[in-house]
Amino acid sequence: MLELEERIRRDGTVKTGDVLKVDNFLNHQMDVELFQKMARQWKADFADAPINKILTIEASGIGIAAIVAAEFGVPAVFAKKSQSINLDGEVYTTKIRSFTHGRVYDVIVSKKFLGPEDHVLIIDDFMANGCAMEGLLEICHEAGATVEGIGIAIEKGFEPGGKKLREQGYRVDSLAIVESMDPETNEIVFRH
Amino acid sequence: MLELEERIRRDGTVKTGDVLKVDNFLNHQMDVELFQKMARQWKADFADAPINKILTIEASGIGIAAIVAAEFGVPAVFAKKSQSINLDGEVYTTKIRSFTHGRVYDVIVSKKFLGPEDHVLIIDDFMANGCAMEGLLEICHEAGATVEGIGIAIEKGFEPGGKKLREQGYRVDSLAIVESMDPETNEIVFRH
């Protein structure tokens, strides 16, 4: 998606350690007008899919997922990190390793909100190694839900996540795929 | 807001310990169509205010804030709980006590995304004792931002948060105020 790529070039900052900071429009401050354009792109790309639920994981996926859910006219569910006393015991659960935060999270989704009747579009802001996505897929499989596709705002194409999931047959729709990026020059090359 | 009250009555569950579970439409599964109606209500209520930014706190406020930001046509910023290595050092910070989770969080907002030019509407899903809100207000004051108002989906009117903030002069716009609720009968009385 050209507009997203241009925005990443304009406002993104490449840091050492393969970090791409886009917190001024994607995952701290949220440019919801851009989110709406992204949502319309996914809606067009998945026009043939009977999607009835958006699934994401807290926290930075939630804003995008809410806007996408509004575009599709379906509810969104966000997987929660770690057990909260406000949740019933009836949950799907898995563990997700976060390289960004250097720790392992317990991730849960209430069984009330995901089941065999669901045709899911999974949404997230970033994909690198795909660990978060594998956790969400595991929860979908446990629920017997059909995964119609995976919508990612920014995929780090030089990390293995996207390749692995596409090889497994998933429809991965990344709106911007970073082929390479240089913390010295801030140059970002996108895959097309 | 009548539709929200009816939804709380229909789908909410009162638990012992003053817990109101509304996770099937508000803060685990998100009914974004309802969020859009809530957003339109806040837009009407704050039509006279020069709001240019929505502020919330992760995680359960983010979905509502994103939809509200779309309605107002402004960006949303969510305060983050605990330091992430992806954030620069230049942040406003405060501590917030969560009674739900029984712990104290460090909460941060990047200085890039909040400043004296901002006229802020703070959005959250719940208000009880008001601790989270006081933390967000402190961050706004530190930033020199103008707080135009506070939009809450569900206020627990029997807890002190709303009263305290109104006495301090804040425009608190809670779309449903629970006067009392009974875990035995699941009866919920709203304030009007």
d(CA B23, CA A108): 13
A32, B70: Cβ pair inside 8 Å?
A: yes
The answer to whether residue A10 neighbours chain B at the CB level (below 8 Å) is: no
| The predicted structure's pLDDT at residue B127 | 97
> What pLDDT, on the 0 to 100 scale, is given for residue B97?
83
Q: A52, A62, A112: best mutation site toward chain B, by most B Cβ within 10 Å?
A: A62
Q: What's the pTM value of the predicted model, to 2 decimals?
A: 0.96
Of the pLDDT bands very low, low, confident and very high (cuts 50, 70, 90), residue A87 is low
Model confidence band, residue A89 (pLDDT cutoffs 50, 70, 90) = low
pLDDT(A16) > 70: yes
How wide is the angle at C-alpha A26 spanned by C-alphas B55 and A164, nearest 5°? 140
What rounded mean pLDDT belongs to chain A? 94
pLDDT at B89: 65
- Would you call B76 and A24 a contact, using CB atoms and an 8 Å cutoff? no
Q: What sign does the dihedral A23-A59-B49-A38 (CA atoms) show?
A: positive
**B165 CA to chain A: closest CA distance, Å?**
25
The reply to whether B21 touches chain A by the CB within 8 Å rule is yes
Q: Which helix (H) or strand (E) holds B186?
A: none
Average pLDDT, stretch A59-88? 87
Partner A contacted by B110 (CB < 8 A): yes
Single-letter amino acid, residue B145: A
pLDDT band at A104 (very low <50, low <70, confident <90, very high): confident
How far out from the chain centre does Cα A108 lie?
Answer: 16
Q: How many CB atoms lie within 10 A of CB A153?
A: 26
pLDDT score recorded for residue A84: 54
> Which residues of A are less than 8 Å from B58 in CB distance?
58-59, 62
Kindly report the backbone phi and psi dihedral angles of residue A2, in degrees, each rounded to the nearest multiple of 5, phi listed first.
-60, -45
Q: Using H for helix, E for strand and C for coil, what is the string for B2-25?
A: HHHHHHHHHHCEEECCCEEECCCC
pLDDT tens-digit profile of A123-163? 999 999 999 999 999 999 999 999 999 999 999 999 999 99
Residue carrying the six token digits 């354009």: A37
Which residue among B28, B59, B69 places its CB closest to the CB of A30? B69
**Which regions of chain B are under pLDDT 50?**
none
Q: Region A85-109: what's the mean pLDDT?
A: 79
